[in-house]
Structure 1
Amino acid sequence: MGAKRPDVLMILLVILTVWGSAEADCSSSCSSTSCQCNSRGLTIVPQDLPTSITTLELARNDITILSQSDFSRYRSLETLRLNDNPISTINSQAFYFLSSLTILSLSGNQITTVRADMFTGLGNLQYIYLSENEISDIQAGAFSPTSQLRYLSLLHNKLTSLRADLFTGIGNLEVLYLYNNEISDIQPGTFSSTPQLRSLSLGDNNLTNLRADFFTGLGNLQVLSLFGNEISDIQAGTFSSTPNLTTLRLHNNNITIFPFNELSSQPISVLRLDNNRLTTLSSAEYDILSSISHVNIENNPWQCDCSMLPFRLRMNGSHWFEDQINCAQPDQFHGQKLIEINPKHLICDTQTSTCITLPVLLCAIFGSIAGTLLIVAIVLTIWCKRNNNTSPPENPEHAVVLTNANTTAVITIDQKDQISPQGSLNPEHRPKSAAPLPHEYESVKPHPENPRPRSADPRLTSLNDAYRNTDERPPFPFPRSCTDGDDSAAQYQSLRKTDAESSDDYETPHDYVYITE
């Protein structure tokens, strides 16, 4: 038993020696230009390789940290693959001496942050793979040192938003993969620094709407992938910034209305809108779909009623998309293809249909406006009439002449009448009316020492008593008079001379005295 123990130890030593030599010995797989050191269990970058190599494969090892000294010997490298390692730390300027590098693969690692100094020295880098990491933050200007970058892959990470300073310094970028992140917002101007971008993938993210400023600056974009989001709203003008778009993938979203008209002026050849929530298509949209080579609009809840009638009338079986429209509503057409339904059966239930045409909508709007204006006009008319009815007469014909011992005057509402002293009325201001001349009254004040009872003299008959039993009214409400500052009752006696006066007949209707207590 004891004799076997040294043999076991010897075997273990041989195994460890072979394993260690296998790990360390990567030079045997090298050629004059490349070294294949994949899956060797390496924990560091080997330093015994030819310095003239241009390609170094270090995928699927156990390297965790990269430093500047790791690559200082291999300054001729053009391709460096470090994918599928547990790399979590890349020290500042780790690739500083690799100025000839054009391809760098760091996919499948554990990188969480792309720092601004991470890619310093990579002035000729054209392809960088950062997919399948845990990247949640990219510092401003992180890619600025890679001014020749053409291809950038950031798929399968944890980005939540795209900032305007994210891609500064890479104006030559042509392909950008950002799908399978957690992106829910794209700030305006994010892609303004990448005018040469040809392909942009934003699929499998958390976008819910597309704003008109999302794709500003992408005048050369040809392929746009937005599949697998939660997009339900597409604002007008969203695709006006991409006039050269040829491929648009929007499948697996929640789109209910799509702006087909924005594609009419673009060279679209591939359009995917399958697995959305589209319900209707218009006759004009039939023309747009007919101009696209590859269309997929399957698996949408199509409403096969009167709203689809214009589209159905255009269908002739000459395009593949015509066979992709399977009806979801109404119930009697559920599961049927639209092209197989007789157009005369595409009717709307007037009680339940939600189809509102543009003319009907416009009529409703303008009808409401007209009704409102009519009501306002009626109210204003009534208001004006009421104001006119309460206005004083413009040309009153009544006047009162007051006469006392010194002065006789005419009082009238007409602004043309004036008070004329010395018992005369200015003829220039006499009312030009056909009505009789105003009555004249004399201020008659009883002597305080010998007041005469009101009933003793018929000339002192009260004006109210004189008109109490008749329909006639006094010609004008007579003013109060205060003579010599006395606030006592004022009395007025008619001064009009008639034939009845000469016979002392005071019962004439126009001969009376007005007495105010």
Structure 2
Amino acid sequence: MFVSLGNLQTLYLHNNDISSIETGTFSHTPRLQRLELYGNNLTSIPQGVFDGLNQLQYLSLYSNHMKTIPPNTFINLQQLLYLYLHDNEISSIPTAAFANLPRLQQLCLSSNQITHIQSGEFSNLPQLRELQLQSNQLTSIPTVQYQFPELIHLNLHNNNITDIPANAFSNQPKLSTLHLYSNRISTVSLTAFTGLANLNTLYLYNNQLTDLPDYLFFGLSSLSNLRLQDNDILQIFPNTFTGISSLTYLLLNGNSLKTFPSEELSKISSIAVLYLQNNQMATLSFTAYDMMLSDVSTVDISNNPWQCDCQMVSFRLKMTGSNSFENQITCTDPRHNRRLLKNINPEDLTCEEPMIVRFEKGDDNSVEEGETLHMVCEASGIPTPDITVILPSGLHETVESGGRVIVEVNGTVTITDVTAADAGLYICIAASPVGSAFKTLSVDVQSKEPATVTSAVINITGKPESTLGSAPIFSLPVLLGSVIGAVAGTVLIGCLILMIWCKRKAKNPPPVPDTSVVFNNTNTTATVTTSGHDQTGQGWSHNVTNPGYAQRPAAPQPTLDLYEDVEPPPNRPTSKGAGPKQPAKKKALKPPKRNKAPHDERPSPPPPRTGAAAGAAAVYANEPAAALDNLPYYQPLTKN
């Protein structure tokens, strides 16, 4: 394509619509030193496309759509000094992607989608001086891969890094500029910056740092520019800045510092620019005045909630009105709101001990489980006292506390999802440098009413307009009571029925079987009338025919003839004929007396019958006549 351009040294192909480059495209430009291919639509680089460019020093491929870099893509570019691959869509870098680049000094991979860096990806780059990895998706700092003895600038800002491990940069002894701002860094190891004696600029701003421990920057003897603004730093320890004797710029603005770090900053004699605006500082001591006046040429302490009270008297007495920072102290307390401290008479800078005006709940002091408890602890005093609430559990909650209990600066206390453990005595403490006060409040927590049971509306006909109304609503106790009552009632009724049955069974035992047995001669036909009494005391009779074997009397029939005992005639003949009937005296029926045989003895068989029953009485054969006189007479009862 570029035939007859053998002496070409610079080729600009940027901002075109080039989507691909064929292998051999640059084979006729062996003296090419600068190649600009940025701003095109390249998605990949074929292997070997740069073969023959042995004098190429500057290669720009940024602002394309490349997603990866094949291994050994630049392996023959041994004279390459600058390689720009930023603003692409690269998510991973394979091993040996930058192999055999012994003279490479600047590698730019920013604004891609790189999530991690594997071991060996940046090997064989002994002359690399600047590595740009900002604006990617890195979550950690690789500590082994960056073995660049000549590296001076390392940019890792605008990633998702959360912590800086120990000895993270110990393999870069010549590192001068380290950019770590705009990450999510909340933890820094005490030895994170060990070995960086040549570090001049350290940017850690816009992270999530909360404190700066002692000796964090120890050994950074060349550090001149330290930027820590826009974090959430609450505290600086006395020896945080020990060992950084060359520091000139210190930016701590946009943090949560409550006091001016006079002692901490006293160890930095070289500081020239100090930014402390937009913090939470309320007072200044006279030592702060001396340090700012004598040592720091540029100071910004504006936009702090200055409390102009007795704690500022010593600082106010040193003010002369000639220093620029004196115009930055604007009072925010109610008595001197928006007045400059330099314009207030020192005699008006007074204090008042804290006093709790009220500590109460809304309408009453009871709340139901699961609800939100609102309380107000209103306090007064100069300076404004800090509020601490002690819960019934013993926990101390302040404005800095979080979670279920929230204490606001104005004394409003909110407890969400109240439980039975939240009932009890609450203590509100108002404290300031000049004193403290407290007040108590008792809170009751009521048990939550059980949930009601409702019935959903169900369409049982399949027609949209045909629905059932909702079932009656029952509370859970009523429903449980109904079920338990029904079960208990059923059990009670069953017990009563069982008791009645047992009593009746004990009172009326089953009838003893009749032991009278009729024997018939196989050649004789006889009819025997047997008598017996049921359990009610009434007699019954039954005719038995000869079946040819012994037979017990059958059960009584539903319709029976009733009989009564009658007196036998005076002289009863022994013949079959019956005597004249005598008027019988009616008597109450009684069951005949029987001598029950033991259960283990069989009753003796009756004597054989030889005659047929005649008349009202049965005649037994082989019985003496005298014995017949003792037999009872029976006759049917007549209805009147």
TM (norm. structure 1) is 0.62
**Quick check: 1:141–1:165 contact (8 Å CA) kept in 2?**
no
Structure 2 counterpart of 1:53, from 56, 63, 85: 56
CA 259–70 in structure 1, closer or farther in 2 if over 3 Å, else same: same
SS in 2 for 1:69: coil
Q: How far did 1:89 drift? A: 1.4
Determine the structure 2 residue equivalent to 1:347.
350
Matches within 5 A, 1:459-478: none
Determine the structure 2 residue equivalent to 1:35.
35
CA 201–69 in structure 1, closer or farther in 2 if over 3 Å, else same: same
Determine the structure 2 residue equivalent to 1:147.
149
Whichever residue aligns with residue 45 of structure 1, its letter is I
**Quick check: 1:212–1:235 contact (8 Å CA) kept in 2?**
yes
2:317 and 2:88 map into 1 onto residues whose CA distance is 60
2:337 and 2:155 map into 1 onto residues whose CA distance is 43
- The reply to whether residue 325 of structure 1 matches residue 329 of structure 2 is yes
Q: How far did 1:217 drift? A: 2.3
SS in 2 for 1:271: strand
Structure 1 counterpart of 2:21, from 21, 24, 46: 24
- The reply to whether residue 283 of structure 1 matches residue 283 of structure 2 is no
**Quick check: 1:29–1:37 contact (8 Å CA) kept in 2?**
no
- The reply to whether residue 91 of structure 1 matches residue 94 of structure 2 is yes
Determine the structure 1 residue equivalent to 2:203.
201
Determine the structure 2 residue equivalent to 1:214.
216
Determine the structure 2 residue equivalent to 1:303.
307
- The reply to whether residue 128 of structure 1 matches residue 125 of structure 2 is no
Q: How far did 1:163 drift? A: 0.4
**Quick check: 1:261–1:288 contact (8 Å CA) kept in 2?**
no
Indicate the RMSD between aligned Cα atoms, in angstroms.
2.6
Matches within 5 A, 1:347-386: 347-350=350-353, 352-353=381-382
Whichever residue aligns with residue 245 of structure 2, its letter is P
> When the two structures are aligned, how many residues end up with a matched partner?
339
- The reply to whether residue 188 of structure 1 matches residue 190 of structure 2 is yes
Structure 2 counterpart of 1:335, from 338, 352, 372: 338
SS in 2 for 1:113: coil
User: Counting strand residues as a fraction of each chain, which structure ranks higher?
Assistant: 2
SS in 2 for 1:128: strand
- The reply to whether residue 273 of structure 1 matches residue 276 of structure 2 is yes
1:54-73 CA distance string (max 9 Å, x none)? 11111111111123321012
SS in 2 for 1:90: coil
Determine the structure 2 residue equivalent to 1:513.
none
1:269 and 1:21 map into 2 onto residues whose CA distance is 52
1:113 and 1:262 map into 2 onto residues whose CA distance is 38
Unaligned regions of 5+ residues in structure 2, if any?
1-15, 355-380, 386-431, 436-640
- The reply to whether residue 112 of structure 1 matches residue 110 of structure 2 is no
1:21-54 CA distance string (max 9 Å, x none)? 6753896999942111111111223625843121
Whichever residue aligns with residue 295 of structure 1, its letter is V
Structure 2 counterpart of 1:312, from 310, 316, 322: 316
Farther-moved stretch of structure 1 (125-134 vs 37-46): 37-46
2:101 and 2:50 map into 1 onto residues whose CA distance is 18
CA 228–156 in structure 1, closer or farther in 2 if over 3 Å, else same: same
Determine the structure 2 residue equivalent to 1:70.
73
**Quick check: 1:155–1:178 contact (8 Å CA) kept in 2?**
yes
1:94 and 1:308 map into 2 onto residues whose CA distance is 63
CA 70–261 in structure 1, closer or farther in 2 if over 3 Å, else same: same
Structure 1 counterpart of 2:298, from 275, 294, 298: 294
2:299 and 2:285 map into 1 onto residues whose CA distance is 16
CA 155–29 in structure 1, closer or farther in 2 if over 3 Å, else same: farther
SS in 2 for 1:298: coil
Farther-moved stretch of structure 1 (42-51 vs 319-328): 42-51
Q: How far did 1:319 drift? A: 1.8
Whichever residue aligns with residue 35 of structure 1, its letter is L
SS in 1 for 2:35: strand
Whichever residue aligns with residue 304 of structure 2, its letter is N
1:418-461 CA distance string (max 9 Å, x none)? xxxxxxxxxxxxxxxxxxxxxxxxxxxxxxxxxxxxxxxxxxxx
SS in 2 for 1:70: coil
**Quick check: 1:116–1:140 contact (8 Å CA) kept in 2?**
no
1:323-369 CA distance string (max 9 Å, x none)? 1111111x12111111222222212224534699xxxx9xx9xxxxx
2:211 and 2:104 map into 1 onto residues whose CA distance is 39
CA 161–20 in structure 1, closer or farther in 2 if over 3 Å, else same: closer
Determine the structure 1 residue equivalent to 2:253.
251
Matches within 5 A, 1:495-506: none
SS in 1 for 2:332: strand
Whichever residue aligns with residue 177 of structure 1, its letter is H
Unaligned regions of 5+ residues in structure 1, if any?
1-18, 365-517
**Quick check: 1:189–1:217 contact (8 Å CA) kept in 2?**
no
**Quick check: 2:93–2:117 contact (8 Å CA) kept in 1?**
no
CA 189–332 in structure 1, closer or farther in 2 if over 3 Å, else same: same
1:282 and 1:176 map into 2 onto residues whose CA distance is 35
Whichever residue aligns with residue 93 of structure 2, its letter is I
Whichever residue aligns with residue 43 of structure 2, its letter is T
SS in 1 for 2:352: coil
Determine the structure 1 residue equivalent to 2:239.
237
Determine the structure 1 residue equivalent to 2:369.
none
**Quick check: 2:19–2:41 contact (8 Å CA) kept in 1?**
no
Whichever residue aligns with residue 42 of structure 1, its letter is L
1:77 and 1:65 map into 2 onto residues whose CA distance is 20
1:385-404 CA distance string (max 9 Å, x none)? xxxxxxxxxxxxxxxxxxxx
Whichever residue aligns with residue 221 of structure 2, its letter is G
Q: What percent identity do the matched residue pairs reach?
A: 34
1:141 and 1:126 map into 2 onto residues whose CA distance is 17
1:174-230 CA distance string (max 9 Å, x none)? 110001111110112110121211111111111111111322322221111111111
**Quick check: 1:75–1:100 contact (8 Å CA) kept in 2?**
yes
1:263 and 1:21 map into 2 onto residues whose CA distance is 57
Determine the structure 2 residue equivalent to 1:159.
161
TM (norm. structure 2) is 0.50
